[in-house]
Structure 1
Amino acid sequence: MHLALDPAAQDLLFRQARTANSFTGEPVSDEQVQAIYDLVKYAPTAFNQQPLRVILVRSPEARERLVNHLGDGNKEKTRTAPLTAILVADNEFHEELPTQFPAFPEAKDMFFGERPVREASAAFNAALQVGYFIVGVRAAGLAAGPMTGFDAEGINKEFLDGDHHVLAVVNMGRPGEDAFYPRGPRLAYDEVVTTV
């Protein structure tokens, strides 16, 4: 009663949503991915910087190149997923900043200044966008299988230039047989929230 989303939407996006470990063979279309992006592009970021970039891995050759950099537990599920997305932070995101950016001169100095500051900002804000991306996949009625078990340096060299770095790899599709592990425990409200 305290949430604006109806219970079915709450279940779809949160309570019943799980990390998928197997998928059916049903393809994920470019139109579905565009619909997902058109939702998740509204994720909050500092100064609207939008550093997330998405590489869709569709060809068998590219998929095998990616699988070579994944941990053993992630290889087979990625080989058989209908679609895999490499989610990347663009360290040169400042080149794409929106037109309202000059209204924030203090941020301009920060983002156009030292590269380590830009990289940290890109990583944090793109990570926010990654979370939204996963929820967007769920909103499309698909299952997401986000992974961090990979050789980041290897993926960076294989697929990216020096201005980008991988944050996550996400398999996408309709969940297959035995797609979900048992739900892990979650901390209770009073274990997480304090009031000062």
Structure 2
Amino acid sequence: MSLCQAGLDLLFNSARSHNGWQDKPVTEAQLRQLYDLMKFGPTSLNSSPARIVFALSDSAKQRVVEAVSPGNVEKTRTAPVIAIVGYDLDFAAKLPALFPHKPEATKLFHDKPELIQDTAFRNSSLQGAYSIMASRALGLDCGPMSGFDPQKIKQAFFSGQRVRVNFLCGIGYGDPSKLFPRSPRLAFAEACSVI
């Protein structure tokens, strides 16, 4: 089974990264539905290291605004939700439950801080991408961004946890009037090889 053209357009061909937002709320129920889709995307050893804070309240969004670069202030302030995608460096503690057919998988990470960092960052990046696809599938728009002070975000949202911040993503209903022309993409031959 494959998606029809309308589904492919929704997820990829017509989808855009948004910088401006309509004044239309996103509910906690929608965020739960988003997570319940994205959680099924694959990660190595089913490690699922992403930890996401959905800044929905005005006070939470204001804490994010205080940590972003000047160019990201307005789109952060006006987004209905800002997803803070982090990664848990203690993710291996959950492997016995998440990877039950090999509960000893936790031992693979014992005293291996570089492997822990690489695994957590790589797989939380995948999960963040899955969250974008899940958002689009639910009719929501996204605006992923860098351009923030990770220490300020960590202090504000993950204080006392071994969680590092990967990226931020506005979620809501994009304002098409604030889109600029779509930027070019590399052609297959520029980015890929078949050997």
Instruction: Decide: shared fold, TM above 0.5.
Output: yes
Query: In structure 2, what is the equivalent of residue 171 of structure 1?
Result: 170
Separation in 1, partners of 2:11, 2:103: 34
- The answer to whether the aligner puts 1:53 opposite 2:75 as a matched pair is no
Separation in 1, partners of 2:157, 2:106: 29
Structure 2 residue ranges without an equivalent (≥5):
none
Query: In structure 2, what is the equivalent of residue 93 of structure 1?
Result: 91
Name the CA shift for 1:99/1:128 in 2 (closer, same or farther; >3 Å). closer
- CA RMSD after TM alignment: 1.7
Amino acid in the other structure paired with 1:60: D
Greater mean alpha carbon deviation, residues 10-19 or residues 96-105: 96-105
Separation in 2, partners of 1:179, 1:185: 18
Query: In structure 1, what is the equivalent of residue 132 of structure 2?
Result: 134
**Alignment partner of 1:178: what SS?**
helix
Whether the aligned pair in 2 keeps the contact of 1:102 and 1:108 (CA below 8 Å) is: no
- Residues 1-196 of structure 1 mapped to structure 2, 5 A cutoff: 4-97=2-95, 98=97, 100-101=99-100, 103=102, 105=104, 107-160=105-158, 161-196=160-195
Percentage of identical aligned residues: 35
Whether the aligned pair in 2 keeps the contact of 1:47 and 1:101 (CA below 8 Å) is: no
Whether the aligned pair in 1 keeps the contact of 2:46 and 2:98 (CA below 8 Å) is: no
Number of paired residues?
A: 193
Question: Structure 1 length normalisation: TM-score?
Answer: 0.91
Separation in 1, partners of 2:62, 2:46: 35
Separation in 1, partners of 2:124, 2:16: 21
CA deviation vs aligned residue, 1:2-55 (integer Å, no higher than 9, x gap): x82101000100011111111111110111111111111111111000001110
Separation in 2, partners of 1:89, 1:165: 5
Question: Structure 2 length normalisation: TM-score?
Answer: 0.92
Structure 1 residue ranges without an equivalent (≥5):
none
Separation in 1, partners of 2:78, 2:98: 42
Greater mean alpha carbon deviation, residues 142-151 or residues 113-122: 113-122
CA deviation vs aligned residue, 1:68-107 (integer Å, no higher than 9, x gap): 11011110111111111111101111122225446274x4
